C-alpha cells in the first residue's frame, strides 16, 4: 500500500496518514514423488505451485540430464 498524504491535511486528518502494511505468506503445499532414472530411484519434493519447466530444471540439478531430454511418464 502506498497511499500518499496530502500536504494540505491539518489536525486530526493528518494523523490518519500513517499506514502499515502487513503481508502474511501462506504456507506452500508440496508433493513428494519418486523419479526413476538409469535404475536409480530419487525421492523428490516439489511445490504444487511450480511449473513443469521449474520441475524439469529441478530434476536437471538432481540427475544431471538436460531438461530438454526429460520425458514424463504417468
Cβ-proximal residues to 33 (8 Å cutoff; 6+ apart), any chain: 44, 46
Q: Are 17 and 5 in contact (CB under 8 A)?
A: yes
Q: Which CATH architecture has domain 12-69?
A: Roll (3.10)
Q: What is the pLDDT of residues 10-55, one digit of tens each?
A: 555 555 566 777 776 777 899 999 988 889 999 999 999 899 889 8
Q: What CA–CA distance (Å, rounded) separates 53 from 59?
A: 10
Cut 0.95: pTM above it = no
Domain ranges of the chain: 12-69
Could you tell me the CA-to-CA distances from 26 to 1, 22, 29 in Å, in that order?
Answer: 19, 13, 9
Phi, psi values for residue 19, rounded to 5° = -130, 145
Amino acid at each position: 500500500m502506498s497511499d500518499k498524504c496530502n500536504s494540505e491535511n491539518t489536525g486530526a486528518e493528518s494523523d490518519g496518514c500513517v499506514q502499515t502494511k502487513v503481508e502474511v505468506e501462506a504456507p506452500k503445499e508440496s508433493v513428494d514423488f519418486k523419479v526413476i532414472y538409469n535404475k536409480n530411484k530419487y525421492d523428490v519434493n516439489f511445490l504444487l505451485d511450480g511449473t513443469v519447466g521449474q520441475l524439469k530444471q529441478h530434476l536437471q540439478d538432481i540427475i544431471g540430464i538436460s531438461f530438454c531430454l526429460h520425458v514424463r511418464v504417468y
